Amino acid sequence: MLALGKLLELTLAGREPATKIQVTTEGTRLRWLAEGALEVTPPAGKDNGLDLLLSAGVHGNETAPIELLDRLLHGIARGEIKPRVRILILFGNPQAIRQGERYVEQDLNRLFNGRHEQAEGFEAIRASELEHLASAFFREPERSRLHYDLHTAIRGSKIEQFAIYPWAEGRSHSQRELQRLNAGGIDAVLLQRKGSITFSAFTYETLNAEAFTLELGKARAFGENQLVNLDLLEARIQQIIEGQEPEDEPVGLDGLQVFRVSREVIKRSDAFKLHLPDDIENFSELPLGYLLAEDAGGATWVIEKGERVIFPNPAVKNGLRAAILIVPSNAADLL
């Protein structure tokens, strides 16, 4: 296997490879760009016109997606997976990955779309670097652009594998991309209703890529992800890489649950209190009239029937979201 196929090993060791470019026997080129960043170019005449950005480890303790990308890259480096698309593989937060922590100083996935310019420290610098890497990769306007930012969640979830679809003015939802996710084992999609400061929101809003944050189970340490079954998603990503998606696949979104954001709960001050059990799961439904949170500016109540909570985290910094409230929707919202 080519040495550059061991990007994860290099990243964990904090080493820069001596050789920056290697080519497989089939002509696939691997190019090291920066720490945790590798570009894959298919052989001459094999490129089908898609630029595919695959990122993981934006939160350093979310290891199952990192292992998934590592397996795919090993297959490419060995010549077992034969790309027909350009690929950029990014391990988002190398320092946090090495430490086994969600982040070092601040949440990297809240520093995009210019937010890093208002911050300092390691993660702010890395967010700027990731934006530059993604912008340079998606440089050709006539090519298709797709970004999967792979994550796992802090807590358990009643729906374990789901996608967050960013929002941008004038953009419509891609039925083709939703069908891909559905076929890849994604059980639900959450539709954003405003701009965001996450990595996938940056590539969607600013770089005009089709982009998704994919939540793929619960965060665990390296080697402890046996309970996270990503076989369907891994197989689908490999099919995308090789240009081998089934042509006779049924068209439709049967079984894909749709939710829309109702509200975000923002932590305004140190007085913030979130009235939820520590072990509450994502997608837990809350009773109408429930006192969800209290802060210096007032209280947040459950005001819409069927509201559910995802990503509750009272430990976030002031000014960031401490929870998202969502409600079930229907396929009409996808049009």
User: What's the token pair of residue 36?
Assistant: 């945790």
Sheet of 298-301: strands edge to edge?
273-274, 291-295, 298-301
What confidence tens digit (pLDDT) does each residue in 190-238 have? 999 889 999 999 999 999 999 999 999 887 877 777 767 899 999 999 9
The active-site residue, picked from 215, 242, 281, 307, is 215
Residue 288's pLDDT is 94
Q: Which residues contact 99 (CB under 8 A, 6 or more apart)?
A: 60
Residue 331's pLDDT is 61
Mean pLDDT of 258-263: 91
* Active site annotation includes 215: yes
Buried b (16+ CB within 10 A) or exposed e, 220-230: beeeebeebeb
- Whether the CB-CB separation of 188 and 162 falls below 8 Å is answered with yes
Q: Work out the angle between the directed axes of helices 63-78 and 231-242 (0-180°, nearest 10).
A: 40
Residue 254's pLDDT is 83
Tell me which residue has tokens 């696939």: 28
DSSP 16-60: --S--EEE-TT--EEEEEETTEEEEEPPTT---SEEEEEEE-SST
- Whether the CB-CB separation of 275 and 293 falls below 8 Å is answered with yes
- Mean pLDDT of all residues in the chain? 93
Mean pLDDT of 176-203: 94
Percent of the chain with pLDDT over 70: 98
Binding-site entries for Zn(2+):
59, 62, 151
Structural domains in the chain, sorted by start? 3-242 (3.40.630.10), 263-334 (2.40.50.630)
Q: What is each CA distance from 164 to 137, 181, 215, in whole angstroms? A: 22, 11, 8
Helix (H) or strand (E) holding 187: none
Residue 133 has pLDDT above 70, yes or no: yes
> Where residue 251 falls among pLDDT bands split at 50, 70, 90?
low
Residue 223's pLDDT is 78
pTM of the model: 0.93
Q: What is each CA distance from 135 to 48, 84, 167, 223, 319, in whole angstroms? A: 20, 21, 19, 33, 27
Q: Which residues contact 3 (CB under 8 A, 6 or more apart)?
A: 17, 19, 22
